[in-house]
Amino acid sequence: MIEGASAAALVGAAAAAMPTAMASPETAASGPGLPKGNWRIDTHAHYSPDVYNDYLKRYGLLGAITGAYGPWSVDRHLAFMDEYRIQASVLSFGDLQVTVGPVDDRRATARAVNDYARDLVRTRGDRFGIFAVTPMPDIEGSVAEVDRALGELDLDGICLLTNYKGTYLGDPSFAPLYEILNDRHAYVYVHPTGPENNPAPKLCFGPDIPAGNNVFEYTFDATRAMTSLIYNGVLRDYPNIRWHFTHSGGALPFLAFRLATRHSAFPPFNEVLPEGPFTYMKRLFFDNAQAFTAAQLQPLSSLVPDSHIMFGSDWPATRHLYAADNAETMPFLKGSLPDLKAGDPEPTVDQIYSRRQRIALERNNALEQFPKLKARIRRSGSR
């Protein structure tokens, strides 16, 4: 960190050197029938500013994030966005967020990170939206930070995790948080983490390759969190909260009918949710980060309205997926991978969506849910 420099000044300096690809976005090629220039809205992208890195370093966790993300910067993120015709990215934190250390440090870190976010939005709000972070599972501190982030700081939403030390989002202890989120009509982005009793380390691919949470457990844990919200009545009792889950819904589309049929075999299901789960599933929003093939999108589209599905890159955690040499590292996926030369992050979408549907998926659906971002883009003179 640079002593004496404000977050706004740091952000402004980082954003000043615009990547070459931004020179003429109005005329850049974008594929037949697609808009010109930068037009996509990315709803699943991560960031790691210095103020957050300092927090991770205090607890010996910085290496895990830099190993996954590489060195994050505003410039580096803008360069990626320009390569793949992304007009704006809504930034969030991944599976750690601000859950480590004493509560006072977590509260202070959440405030500092969200102040950085406010400054980034003030200087580059036409390119970035941000989900504020909370010191969860500290309910009192989180309620105060949500009030500040969505009020004074005017950020775009809140990010949470699927569980906190084994307590899933449907737990009644979270009610004070949901009351303020509901009052604020908040958009809540939920990033998956691993379960408290984690089976992942026991699964190895060969003798020396342990399975991390991001292989399977992220998607399973998102499924646990969604069902927890549904069957504990959170979606029913706090209808103004818009919930966003990742990776095309994890295992939920495949398991939804199986879950519903449990109502016939297990009477308590009918006691807690006599109307069944589908009404509430249809209210959820999703991104398709690392889940943009027919095998993933078609089941999700059969479960929720198309307007509830949005583009997500998961960058920079997925930087190798979007690299120019991706077909060399994953030759068995050639033809299904992001195409850097064409600036297309998910060419397989063309196999199942029309051009109109694709533009909605990759732009319009997100702008409907993020009116603050939409207004900032409009004020900047962009489309």
Give me 127's structure tokens: 């390119």
User: What per-residue confidence (pLDDT) applies to 30?
Assistant: 57
Q: What is the C-alpha to C-alpha distance for residues 194 and 211, in angstroms, rounded to an integer?
A: 12
Output the CA–CA distances (angstroms, integers) from residue 245 to 78, 324, 326, 361, in the order listed. Answer: 24, 28, 26, 15
Sign of the torsion formed by the C-alpha atoms of 170, 188, 247 and 60: negative
Residue indicated by tokens 């969860």:
136
Closest by alpha carbon to 215, among 225, 228, 227, 201?
201
Contact at 8 Å (CB) between 185 and 157? Answer: no
| Percent share of the chain, pLDDT over 70 | 91
Is residue 153 within 8 A of residue 130, CB to CB? The reply is: no
Give the end-to-end CA distance of the chain in Å, rounded to a whole number. Answer: 35
pLDDT at 207: 81
Question: For residue 316, is the peptide bond before it cis, meaning its omega torsion is within 30 degrees of 0?
Answer: yes
Rg (CA), the chain: 20
In the block, tokens 């991001």 appear at 214
| pLDDT for position 205 | 86
Question: Measuring CA to CA, which residue among 6, 109, 20 is closest to residue 61?
Answer: 109
Residue 168: name the closest of 199, 146, 193, 131 by CA: 193
Domain locations along the chain: 40-200+211-381
Q: Between 217-231 and 252-265, two packed helices, what is the crossing angle to 10 degrees?
A: 40
pTM of the model: 0.91
Residues in the chain with pLDDT values less than 70: 1-31, 201, 382-383
Q: DSSP strand E in 119-202: where? A: 128-132, 157-161, 163-164, 167-168, 187-191
Position 383 scores a pLDDT of 59
Give the C-alpha separation, 244 to 366, whole Å. 11
Tell me, what's the pLDDT at 57?
95
Q: What is the predicted pLDDT for the residue at 206?
A: 85
List all residues 6 or more positions away from 195 whose beta carbon is below 8 Å from its beta carbon. Answer: 163, 166, 217, 220, 221, 224
User: 45: part of which helix (H) or strand (E)?
Assistant: strand 40-46
What is the model's pLDDT at position 64? 84
Contacts of residue 287, Cβ cutoff 8 Å, sequence gap at least 6: 43, 44, 244, 245, 246, 247, 248, 309, 310, 311, 312
Element (H or E) spanning 309, and its range? Answer: strand 309-310
DSSP class of residue 364 equals I
Confirm or reject CATH 3.20.20.140 for domain 40-200+211-381, answering yes or no: yes
Rounded Cα gap, residues 315 and 321, in angstroms? 9
**Could you give phi then psi for residue 187, rounded to 5 degrees?**
-95, 125
